[in-house]
Structure 1
Amino acid sequence: MLFTHVIEDGTLQVTLQGQLDVTSRAAGALEIEALVYVHRPHRVTVQVPAGDPTPATLSAVLRAYRTCKSLGIPLTLRGGTPSARRLFAVNTA
Structure 2
Amino acid sequence: MLITHAVEDGTLRVALRGQVDVTSPAAAAVEIEVLVHAHHPRRFAVQIPAGEPTPATFSALLRVFYMCKGLGIPLKLSGGPPSARRLFMVNTA
TM-score normalised by the shorter chain: which range applies?
over 0.9
Post-superposition offset of 1:21:
1.0
CA distance in 1, matches of 2:52, 2:31: 21
| Structure 2 gap segments, 5+ residues each | none
Alignment of 1:9-28 (within 5 A): 9-28=9-28
Letter in 1 for 2:45: T
Report the Cα distance in structure 2 between the residues aligned to 1:34 and 1:87, rounded to whole angstroms.
26
Structure 1 segments of 4+ aligned residues over 6 angstroms from their partners: none
What aligned pairs does 1:1-93 form with structure 2 within 5 A after superposition?
Answer: 1-93=1-93
3-state SS of 2:53 partner: coil
TM-score (norm 2): 0.97
Cα separation, 2, equivalents of 1:52 and 1:4: 20
1:14-60 deviation digits (Å, cap 9, x = unpaired): 01101001111110011111111111100111101111111100110
Aligned to 1:19, what secondary structure does the other structure show? coil
How many angstroms apart in 2 are the aligned matches of 1:80 and 1:39? Answer: 25
- State percent identity of aligned pairs: 68
Q: For residue 87 of structure 2, give the secondary structure of its aligned residue in structure 1.
A: helix
Q: Which segments of 5 or more consecutive residues in structure 1 lack a partner in the other structure?
A: none
Q: Residue 18 of structure 1: SS of its match in structure 2?
A: coil
The residue identity in structure 1 corresponding to 2:70 is S
The letter for the 1-side match of 2:46 is V
| Structure 1 position 84, deviation (Å) | 0.3
* CA distance in structure 1 between the aligned counterparts of 2:20 and 2:51, rounded to whole angstroms: 13
Q: What is the TM-score normalised by the length of structure 1? A: 0.97
